[in-house]
Amino acid sequence: MAETLLVTKDAPKDQVYEEIIPQIKSLIDGEDNLVANLANIAAVLDTAFGHLWTGFYVREGETLVLGPFQGPIACTRIPLQPVARGVCGAAAATKQTQLVPDVEKFPGHIACSSASKSEIVVPLVADGETQIVLDIDSEYLNTFDATDQLYCEKIIDLLKERHF
């Protein structure tokens, strides 16, 4: 088991993702516990990028329930019915990654933290339904882009291969 994350300081983010993805794969290979894997992935992403909030919500019926995360306290439950709420709800309902450059301009945004300015949410879809979402918030506008989407989707694919 790894004890240290190896990341090149001040590297471009695509390089950082290229460095951490094999380390994430190594951490989750052979571990069957979903919570442990979600916790380690959140820790790796937080260590590598230091965003405001990095974590997961796990589907429980028609609600997304807070899972392992790094950062300040967060919303515990996000309803999906009768209407999916917030960026996480939109990702779960559409089954598509949501890139939000300015959360204040996102219809129905849930302000779990007033410090959050931009966000990316990536759904893990299995059996035709969103099971988990990876949610990353930044205290800066326009933080996330196609590079983040590409690599966060790869991370979700690793998780899906391991657990679904």
74 lies in some domain: yes
Q: What is the CA radius of gyration of the chain?
A: 15
135 lies in some domain: yes
Closest CA to 9 of 46, 40, 49: 49
91 lies in some domain: yes
Query: For residue 141, what are the domain limits?
Result: 13-163
124 lies in some domain: yes
pTM recorded for the entire structure: 0.95
Per-residue pLDDT band at 2 (split at 50, 70, 90): low
Q: How many domains does the chain have?
A: 1
Write the CATH number for 80: 3.30.450.40
3 lies in some domain: no
Q: What is the pLDDT of residues 35-94, one digit of tens each?
A: 999 999 999 999 999 999 999 999 999 999 999 999 999 999 999 998 888 999 999 999
Q: Are 16 and 29 spatial neighbours (Cβ–Cβ below 8 Å)?
A: no
What is the residue-wise DSSP string for 60-119?
ETTEEEEEEEESS---SEEE-SSS--HHHHHHHHHTS-EEES-GGGSTT---S-TT--EE
Per-residue pLDDT band at 112 (split at 50, 70, 90): confident
